[in-house]
Amino acid sequence: MNIDEFDFDLPDDLIAQTPLKNRDASRLLVLHRTEQEIEHKQFTDIKRYLKKGDCLVLNDTRVLPARLYGIKEDTGANVEVLLLHQQGKDLWEVLVKPAKKVKKGTVINFGDGKIRATCTGLKDHGGRILQLAYEGIFYEILNELGQMPLPPYIKEQLSEKERYQTVYASEEGSAAAPTAGLHFTNELLDEIKAMGVSIEFITLHVGLGTFRPVSADKIEEHKMHAEFYHMSGKTAEKLKTVKENGGRIISVGTTSTRTLETIVRDNNGNFAESSGWTDIFIYPPYEFQAIDGLITNFHLPKSTLIMMVSAFANRESIMNAYQEAVNERYRFFSFGDAMLIL
């Protein structure tokens, strides 16, 4: 398929720059795949579409305040570093700007020496391997010095770091938030559980590969970067039981979807306790094995994410729904409104 088939026009003023005061106050576009019908609701109406015996699967990854600003010790030049994922004890793969200033052996100082980083390896597209040195607890220092790695289309400053975290975020490691989950409050989750709907958690640490633009004209030629995932044996057994009893598995977000589809693909069509790295790239046509429904945000034109949701519904339905969302002035992207596909 050609990448232009996933393009659409989006006015800049529909790109949400800040989160709403109340997480669950966002709007909800409901797309019924079979009937190809659309409904316009509020996010709290999600309860109307869930029933006893269903299961919501949420990604409990926690975003690191992974953007650091430092100074090269030899020249005093300013350097921006984005932590991507940990490769070993205090060894991190990062993105550096400007990359040309950071060569093997370069030492970068953050926070007047609270962290010193030595470049030990070079990677493509501005990637580097840094060995970090510090005294104390790393994540406490990072929380003090680091900033949330908001996507480049968000120009406003985030006043509260926790608004770029889900209320259930617990597993440190993401370079970006699983944004479909930002709409849930603890109260809404409690109400859903009281309906007899199960809530289960998996982990996928979101890397920048999910958001990198597709550079190939033919989407089949695009290669996804790998991201780490984990699902416990307890969760796997619960999901098996839900399926056996005729319940639906509703994935919250594309990250949860990638994880579930990877696990089922790699375990002969079954849920199983799993950990590893996935580079699965889901685009039309694709036969989903794990999920029955999807809660997601509105994604960038020509992105791998709009390709995934187009595989779950179909391209024509998704592009039509996106056009209606533009016409109805929904808020787009990370801090925007939500979509339920059933």
Residues 255-307 have pLDDT tens digits of: 999 999 999 999 999 999 999 999 999 999 999 999 999 999 999 999 999 99
What is the value of pTM for the model shown? Answer: 0.92
Contact (Cβ atoms closer than 8 angstroms) between residue 278 and residue 81: no
**Model confidence at 249: pLDDT above 80:** yes
Which run of H or of E encompasses 204? strand 198-204
**Model confidence at 210: pLDDT above 60:** no
As its CATH architecture, domain 3-63+159-341 has: 3-Layer(aba) Sandwich (3.40)
Beta-bridge mates of residue 56: 199, 250
> What is the amino acid identity at position 22?
N
Q: Domain 67-145, CATH 3.30.450.20 — does that match?
A: no
- Residue 24 DSSP label: G
pLDDT for the residue 85: 83
Contact (Cβ atoms closer than 8 angstroms) between residue 217 and residue 258: no
Domain boundaries, the chain: 3-63+159-341, 67-145
Q: Is 5 helix (H, G, I), strand (E, B) or coil?
A: helix
Give the Cα-Cα-Cα angle 220, 84, 259 (nearest 5 degrees).
Answer: 50
- Residue 48 DSSP label: G
**Model confidence at 118: pLDDT above 60:** yes
pLDDT for the residue 125: 77
Token digits for 316?
């024509």
CA distance 197 to 208: 32
The number of CA neighbours under 13 Å toward the Cβ of 234 is: 5
Distances (CA, A) of 238 to 26, 53, 216, 248, 325: 30, 11, 39, 12, 35
Quick count: other Cβ atoms within 10 Å of Cβ 216?
11
The number of CA neighbours under 13 Å toward the Cβ of 301 is: 11
pLDDT, tens digit, for every residue of 14-56? 999 999 999 999 999 999 999 999 999 999 999 999 999 999 9
Contact (Cβ atoms closer than 8 angstroms) between residue 163 and residue 19: yes
Token digits for 307?
């390709």
CA distance 149 to 84: 10
